[in-house]
């Protein structure tokens, strides 16, 4: 996991925004954090949780899968899928993105946090 100082955060977000739309947690008028499209001057929230999960970007609450048109006994199935733009979700904790990737889900928690592993062992010493 790579680290970026807060003073360089806007430069990092600007670089990512050159290739894709960037969303990050931003404090809303209600005082709670919401994922919002990043633009210059938008400040990332310091809240630990957002109102909605990052999963909403991938799995909307409702979704039309197909339309159809009937004329007499003929049914025409209409594909309504649309291409989606590339996007980046910034500010998701490790436990929030592990569900997206089997590889990330298998990582030890300390690796998700970018910290060294600390082993706690109960040991008895022979006398």
% of the chain beyond a pLDDT of 70: 71
pLDDT score recorded for residue 27: 93
17-26, 56-65, 75-84, 105-114: which range is least confident on average?
A: 105-114
Q: Is residue 125 part of a domain?
A: no
What average pLDDT does the chain have?
A: 78
Closest residue by Cα to residue 9 from 27, 29, 24: 24
Q: How many domains does the chain have?
A: 1
User: Domain span at residue 70?
Assistant: 6-113
Average pLDDT for 114-122? 50
The CA distance from 109 to 117, in Å, is 9
Neighbours of 96 (CB within 10 A): 16
41-45, 83-87, 95-99: which range is least confident on average?
A: 95-99
% of the chain beyond a pLDDT of 90: 31
Q: Which residues sit opposite 121 in a β-bridge?
A: none
pLDDT score recorded for residue 103: 65
6: left (phi over 0), alpha (psi -120 to 50) or beta: alpha
Report whether pLDDT(72) > 80. Answer: yes
In degrees, rounded to 5, the angle at the alpha carbon of residue 62 between the alpha carbons of residues 34 and 16 is 40
Q: Is the pTM of this model over 0.75?
A: no
Average pLDDT for 19-27? 93
Report whether pLDDT(126) > 50. Answer: no
The CA distance from 23 to 87, in Å, is 8
Residue 58 exposure: Cα atoms within 13 Å on the Cβ side: 10
Number of helices and strands in the chain (H, E): 4, 5
> In a 3-state reduction of DSSP, which class is residue 69?
strand
């Amino acid at each position: 996991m790579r680290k970026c100082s807060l003073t360089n955060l806007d430069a990092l977000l600007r670089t990512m925004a050159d290739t894709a739309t960037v969303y990050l947690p931003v404090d809303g008028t209600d005082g709670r954090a919401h994922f919002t499209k990043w633009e210059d001057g938008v400040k990332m929230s310091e809240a630990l949780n957002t109102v909605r999960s990052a999963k909403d970007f991938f799995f909307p609450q409702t979704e039309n899968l197909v339309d159809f048109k009937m004329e007499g006994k003929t049914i025409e199935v209409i594909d309504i899928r649309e291409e989606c733009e590339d996007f980046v979700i910034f500010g998701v904790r490790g436990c929030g993105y592990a569900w997206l990737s089997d590889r990330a889900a298998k990582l030890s928690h300390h690796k998700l946090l970018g910290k060294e592993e600390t082993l706690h062992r109960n040991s008895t010493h022979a006398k």
